Amino acid sequence: DIQMTQSPSSLSASVGDRVTITCRASQNISTFLNWYQQKAGKAPKLLIYAASKSQNGVPSRFSGSGSGTDFTLTVSTLQPEDFATYCCQQSYTTPFTFGPGTTVDFK
Amino acid sequence: QVSLKESGPVLVTPTETLTLTCSVSGLSLSNARTGVSWIRQAPGKALEWIGHIFSNDEKSYSTSLKTRLTISKDTSKSQVVLIMTNMDPVDTATYYCARTQIYCSGRSCQNWFDPWGQGTLVTVSS
């Protein structure tokens, strides 16, 4: 199975900050990488698919980049509603696997 | 608008078999570029993909769970069913179903989960 790791596991930030989260795959997955946002007690929500394509309706402050084994999710200007957990997921091959998540909380 | 909703027991006894149903609306399960996945999340833990089924009845399962799993669909009822045998307390989790979207370019196909159901918490305890 492909292992996914994320860093950091958590971070504290303020409204207006630029936030970057990294996801790493245990092998080359090309651009088969998706990002989700999950708020407490809620189902995950798709933000980015195919590493860099924004899902319809997702604010433009969210962007994804990377290919191969290293990927990045960036929130350009953090908004109050962005405090949540973010996780990556590879779809290169089954079994699909998720990263452990990165929690963004208030500084 | 596509929506999914999970239903099933909230409490299961160890060794019992779990049956969960995902009811899908706004989407036909015969759509060629659509599947439904099951994903779970133990309390405070990461998301774990369980398996999926596509319109052509192609299925795939988690490596660690596959001996215990069956996923099936009833296209006429717009439902996908997850059966997991020999439940254990470590299987306590919120179980989600999600549409699996597919985009193929050449021989390469991307998959992603959107939207998700609200999830259903299943507790395994005697």
- pLDDT tens readout for residues B94-104: 999 999 998 88
Q: Which residues of B45-81 are buried (b: 16+ CB within 10 A; e: fewer)?
A: eebbbbbbbbbeeebbbbeebeebbbbebeeeebbbb
Region A41-67 average pLDDT: 97
- How would residue B32 be classed by pLDDT, with cut points 50, 70 and 90? confident
Residues A55/B115, Cβ–Cβ less than 8 Å: no
Interface of A with B in 41-60 (CB under 8 A): 43-46, 49-50, 55
Dump the DSSP string for A40-54.
Answer: TTS--EEEEETTTEE
Q: Please name the residues in contact with B118: beta carbons below 8 A apart, sequence gap of 6 or more.
A: A43, B5, B6
A16-48 pLDDT, tens per residue?
999 999 999 999 999 999 999 999 999 999 999
Tell me which chain B residues have a C-beta less than 8 angstroms from the C-beta of A31. Answer: 110
CA torsion, points A38, A41, A43, A44, in degrees to nearest 10? 10
What integer pLDDT is reported at residue A69 of this predicted model?
A: 98
What integer pLDDT is reported at residue B108 of this predicted model?
A: 82
A10 touches chain B (CB under 8 A): no
A55 to chain B: nearest residue by CA? Answer: B114
A100 touches chain B (CB under 8 A): yes
Tell me which chain A residues have a C-beta less than 8 angstroms from the C-beta of B60. Answer: 94-95
- How would residue B107 be classed by pLDDT, with cut points 50, 70 and 90? confident
B54 touches chain A (CB under 8 A): no
